[in-house]
């Protein structure tokens, strides 16, 4: 049957999603939390450790080496990641004795009673306004040498969390690459160091930021791990069902481009705010609960990403508490899983056992194309009464500079079925940008139920009441499949 692959995918994915949801895996990934303390109303460190244990959270990441916190974690069985702050990078890089003393006072003095498993040297150093990038790798090496002197190097890993802004390209995922100016001076020596020491790359990934900035283009279901048709990576043909996996694979692809396929990754921060300012699209209690709950299910049910299917991930949720003294927009103070009172902000599972009773409590249908805020250009006298007989076509006047990015989105994050317009496929001809864009735009439009706001594509598309003669055969096939 011509152009029929979409119908099978639409039948297969919900079934696969259901199977994955009810499995009781024995070997999945691991969930931890970030314990930030930029607040003046948090419970004592002793109470925090009791809270972590009561929730069966067995990994925690700190942003410093506060003695009270490290002492409270002693004997708890909770694995700990500590941080050497950015402001100490120059000293740790220039003076090996400083690094040795820091490890003695902040790591060796507590381990192994406090199970420190890794040291984050700095945090998102490349976006640090104090320009500490050049000190990063030397500091990492000196900290590792200090661990060797205390015979801790085999049990405590050294790494440094990077933000996704370290990528030059992240879409599609297969095109992931690091910023050119960072490759030779930082990434190659850092990745060499991680390989030599048996460590892993730490990555902070926030689908919320991508959704907030591109809510008209990124479906909310895709960002929240909810059921959706998926997005095909035009570079490798892999299909993604959530933005998190796509972001992680962009980093894996960037590592692969530099021949570091053997390195593992730990996601040291990810989360979604439960509250935000009026312009912070998507910041809400329901969305935060859905993102974190579905993420935990995604991680604990095992399996890696489409690019690394066998690589289970360790992921640290951000953050344990709402922190009332953080600067910036409202969202910055509302990433917490718990209020300072230790009450949950929303229900989220932390263990495989809790997953058995977990359901994504969806209160309303997802916005269309990011909330339906777009107004659709309409050609002719098309009215809602004939909405079932409308098609979305590309504007020949839009030009290649606008059409190509719109086509890339439709076939990528938009989730349009673009296999039939690939070279050699049944709907490849006519081989023009306008024809291919029309096919992809219409695929997206029909999948979205021909809803208002889904035939826009930055002003490069419009609605018609009859399929254009040049593409009518292909459009009829496509529509038949979409409505199968």
pTM, full prediction: 0.72
* pLDDT tens-digit series, residues 341-377: 999 999 999 999 999 888 888 764 433 333 332 223 3
Q: Which of 9, 117, 227, 269 is catalytic?
A: 269
Q: How far apart are CA 70 and CA 94, in angstroms?
A: 27
| Residue 434 designated active-site | no
Name which residue leads in pLDDT, 197 or 3: 197
According to the model, what pLDDT value does residue 27 have? Answer: 57
Res 475 pLDDT > 50? no
Stretch 397-402: mean pLDDT, rounded? 80
Q: Model confidence over 156-191: pLDDT tens digits?
A: 999 999 999 999 999 899 999 999 999 999 999 999
Q: Helix/strand/coil (H, E, C) string of 158-209?
A: EECEEEHHHEEECCCHHHCEECHHHHHHHHHHHHHHHHHHCCEEEEECCHHH
Q: Which tokens is 217 given?
A: 């283009």
269 as an active site residue: the answer is yes
Report residue 428's pLDDT band, with 50, 70 and 90 as the boundaries.
Answer: confident
Q: How far is CA 377 from CA 362, 392, 470, in A?
A: 31, 10, 21
Would you state the pLDDT for residue 63? 98
Q: Which residues, listed in sequence order, are joined to residue 240 by a DSSP beta bridge?
A: 231
DSSP of 307-367: SSTT---EEEES-SB--TT--SSGGGG---SB-TTS-BSS----SHHHHTT------SPPP
The sign of the CA dihedral 286, 290, 296, 300 is positive
User: Among the listed ranges 119-128, 166-175, 267-276, 455-464, which one has the minimum average pLDDT value?
Assistant: 455-464
pLDDT computed for residue 139 by the predictor = 98
* pLDDT of the residue at 330: 97
What digits encode the pLDDT tens for the residues 316-330? 999 999 999 999 999
Query: What is the chain's mean pLDDT, rounded?
Result: 85
HSE toward the beta carbon, residue 184, CA cutoff 13 A: 2
Residues 6+ apart with CB under 8 A from 460: 394, 395, 398, 402, 403, 406, 437, 441
CA gyration radius, the chain: 25
**Nearest residue to 455 via CA among 380, 399, 375, 401:** 375
Are the beta carbons of 263 and 209 closer than 8 angstroms?
A: no
Q: How far apart are CA 405 and CA 25, in angstroms?
A: 40
Largest CA distance in the chain: 79
| Lookup result for tokens 């030599």 | 196
- The first and second tokens of residue 114, run together, are 């406090």
Cis peptide upstream of residue 390 (ω within 30 degrees of 0) = no
pLDDT at position 18 is 38
Please list the alpha-helical segments (H only) found in 362-432. 400-411
CA–CA separation, 370 vs 444, rounded Å?
A: 14
């Amino acid at each position: 049957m011509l152009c029929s692959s979409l119908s099978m995918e639409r039948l297969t994915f919900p079934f696969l999603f259901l199977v994955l949801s009810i499995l009781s895996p024995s070997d999945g990934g691991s969930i931890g939390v970030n314990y930030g303390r930029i607040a003046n109303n948090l419970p004592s460190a002793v109470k925090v450790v009791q809270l972590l244990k009561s929730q069966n959270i067995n990994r925690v990441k700190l942003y410093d080496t506060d003695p009270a916190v490290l002492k409270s974690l002693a004997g708890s069985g909770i694995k700990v990641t500590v941080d050497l702050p950015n402001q100490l990078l120059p000293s740790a890089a220039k003076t090996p004795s400083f690094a040795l003393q820091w490890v003695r006072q902040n790591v060796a003095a507590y381990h192994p009673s406090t199970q420190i498993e890794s040291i984050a040297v700095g945090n998102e150093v490349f976006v640090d306004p104090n320009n500490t990038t050049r000190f990063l790798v030397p500091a990492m090496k000196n900290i590792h040498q200090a661990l060797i002197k205390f015979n801790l190097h085999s049990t405590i890993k050294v790494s440094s969390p990077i933000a996704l802004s370290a990528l030059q390209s992240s879409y599609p995922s297969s095109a992931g690459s690091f910023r050119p100016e960072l490759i030779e001076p930082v990434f190659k020596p850092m990745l060499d160091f991680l390989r030599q020491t048996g460590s892993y790359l730490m990555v902070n990934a926030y689908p919320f930021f991508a959704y907030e900035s591109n809510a008209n283009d990124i479906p909310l279901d895709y960002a929240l791990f909810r059921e959706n048709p998926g997005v095909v990576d035009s570079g490798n043909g892999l299909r993604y069902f959530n933005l998190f996996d796509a972001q992680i694979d962009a980093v894996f692809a960037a590592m692969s481009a530099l021949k570091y396929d053997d390195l593992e990754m730990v996601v040291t921060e990810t989360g979604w705010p439960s509250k935000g300012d009026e312009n912070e699209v998507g910041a809400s209690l329901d969305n935060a609960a859905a993102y974190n709950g579905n993420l935990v299910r995604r991680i604990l049910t095992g399996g890696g990403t489409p690019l690394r299917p066998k690589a289970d991930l360790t992921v640290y949720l951000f953050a344990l508490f709402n922190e009332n003294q953080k600067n910036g927009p409202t969202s910055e103070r509302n990433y917490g899983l718990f209020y300072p009172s230790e009450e949950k902000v929303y229900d989220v599972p932390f263990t495989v056992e809790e997953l058995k009773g977990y359901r994504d409590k969806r209160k309303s249908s997802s916005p269309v194309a990011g909330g339906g805020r777009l107004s659709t250009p309409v050609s002719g006298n098309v009215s809602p009464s004939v909405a079932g007989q409308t098609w979305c076509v590309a504007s020949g006047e839009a030009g290649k500079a606008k059409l190509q990015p719109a086509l890339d989105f439709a076939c990528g994050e938009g989730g349009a079925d673009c296999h039939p317009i690939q070279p050699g496929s049944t709907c490849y001809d006519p081989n023009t940008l306008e024809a291919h864009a029309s096919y992809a735009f219409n695929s997206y439009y029909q999948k979205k139920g021909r809803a208002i706001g889904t035939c826009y594509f930055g002003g490069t598309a419009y609605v018609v009441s009859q399929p254009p003669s040049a593409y009518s055969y292909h459009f009829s096939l496509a529509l038949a499949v979409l409505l199968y």
